[in-house]
Amino acid sequence: MDTRADLESPDSASSPASPTRPQMSVVDRLDRPLHDLRISVTDRCNFRCTYCMPKEIFGADYAFLPRSEVLTFEEIERVARVFVSLGVEKLRLTGGEPLVRRDLPVLVAMLAAIRRPDGGPLDLTLTTNASALRKLAEPLAAAGLGRVTVSLDSLDDAVFSAMNGVDYPVAKVLDGIAAAQEAGLGPIKINMVVRRGINEASVVPMARWARDAGVTLRFIEFMDVGHTNGWRMDEVVGADELVAMVDAVMPVEPEPPRYRGEVATRFRYRDGVGEVGVIASVTKPFCGDCTRARLSAEGRFYTCLFTGEGHDLRAILRDPAVTDPAANEATLRDAVAAVWRVRDDRYSEERTEATSSSLPRLEMFAMGG
Ligand code: SAM
Ligand code: SF4
Ligand code: SF4
């Protein structure tokens, strides 16, 4: 859909953003505000996780985006400013693997300088496989990154190698996490995708390690994103089962959500030391509070992780007829607001095995997980 075709936002005056401009927050058809933006800075990755970019499909001859089609840092910053003017308070850099994008700290500094309409700073975070954190944690922190989430699916090298697809050793991820801790990029969260028959035996050791290391573990139910990971419902280890596994050895109790739209269901250890969470998008969907938008590396705006349909913001950014940056920003703002207002996505609440295989969908690494 061409976003410029449905510009009808009644409350979006066509003047540039400024710190004094009042906030023009938008809500969708289900009364969900626009609060988070996940920005994919690249569709490339140095890992080949079986659940995300299986190496049989994403081999040497796979055609990733040419550089000219990927948004520049200036374009990303402009889009981010527009989303912030519409109510976004949290930016998460992702991918693909965000750390493979050259000069990422330069982009982080540009985004860290953006202020909310009330003058406050943004919550600026990044999700990474940690492979380049030893080198980049300090420059990223110095540029203004707030914290990181690291993906790690097992502490067992044989299991982790099989899942990351490139024989990447656990020790190097742990070293990347240590580098992030040294650079002050905390509180650090760890994402662990759990797939039945592959890494359930890693659940309790990961929980124990995370608690001792002072990081917050989030189990993620294996999701049916994209069409290449061979998803089947019987490979999903559900939230209740995951929590029971941990509770049996380290008792936990539920924690209330801290804010609307919090993705993880949280549990605190009964002895008062630490917490663990589950992102249960399959067995306990949370679409009702979903306030997240996604921007792909090529500048398409997605209102749901499970959609094949994106809205082309790059066409607006690169419109040769509009040379005034303020006018271009105003057009972008109108387009984004118009798309959000008509959003009614609730895929996970409607998911069945049948819809899972039949819907057109983009891969997660392409739209920004
Ligand atoms: N490369 C970075 C990383 O792995 O952290 C960022 C991008 S990755 C697509 C973002 C998150 O999505 C990771 O935590 C990853 O484990 C998760 N993910 C990818 N495919 C998934 C799937 N099929 N089900 C559940 N989580 C998935
Ligand atoms: Fe790469 Fe992250 Fe996908 Fe793994 S989950 S293949 S690290 S983008
Ligand atoms: Fe949000 Fe779509 Fe996920 Fe529901 S399925 S929580 S609407 S991204």
Instruction: Please tell me the predicted confidence (pLDDT) of residue 356.
Output: 60
Where in the chain are the domains? Answer: 36-367
Q: Which residues contact 304 (CB under 8 A, 6 or more apart)?
A: 290, 343, 345, 347
Q: For domain 36-367, which architecture applies? A: Alpha-Beta Barrel (3.20)
Q: What is the pLDDT of residues 159-203, one digit of tens each?
A: 999 999 999 999 999 999 999 999 999 999 999 999 999 999 999
Report percent pLDDT > 70 for the chain. 90
The predicted structure's pLDDT at residue 363: 72
Query: What residues line ligand 2, using a CB cutoff of 6 Å?
Result: 45, 47-49, 52-53, 95-97, 129, 151, 365
Find residue 265's DSSP bridge partners: 278
| Model pLDDT for residues 13-63, shown as the tens digit of each residue | 333 334 434 457 899 999 999 999 999 999 999 999 999 999 999 998 999
Which amino acid is residue 231, in one-letter code? W
Give the number of the atom of ligand 2 that is nearest the alpha carbon of residue 193.
5
Q: Of 236, 239, 297, 229, give the one whose Cα is nearest residue 263.
A: 239
Write down the mean pLDDT value for the chain: 90
Å from CA of 168 to ligand 3 middle? 31
Q: pLDDT of 322-359, one tens digit each?
A: 889 999 999 999 999 999 999 999 988 887 655 665 66
pLDDT tens, residue by residue, 301-327? 999 988 878 999 999 999 999 889 999
Give CA–CA dist 300/35, Å, rounded: 18
Work out the average pLDDT over 223-237.
82
Name the residue among 132, 114, 131 with its Cα closest to residue 123.
114
Q: What is the mean pLDDT of residues 121-133?
A: 98
What is the percentage of the chain residues whose pLDDT exceeds 90? Answer: 78
Whether ligand 3 lies within 6 angstroms of the CB of 302 is answered as no
Mean pLDDT in residue range 67-88: 98
Residues with CB under 6 A from ligand 1: 45, 51-52, 94-95, 97, 127-129, 151, 191, 193, 220, 222-223, 225, 229, 364-365, 369
pLDDT digits (tens, 9 = 90+) for 263-290: 899 999 999 999 999 999 899 888 999 9
HEC string for 267-308: EEECCCCCEEEEECCCCCCCHHHCCEEEECCCCEEECCCCCC
Q: Which two tokens stand for residue 145?
A: 């990154």
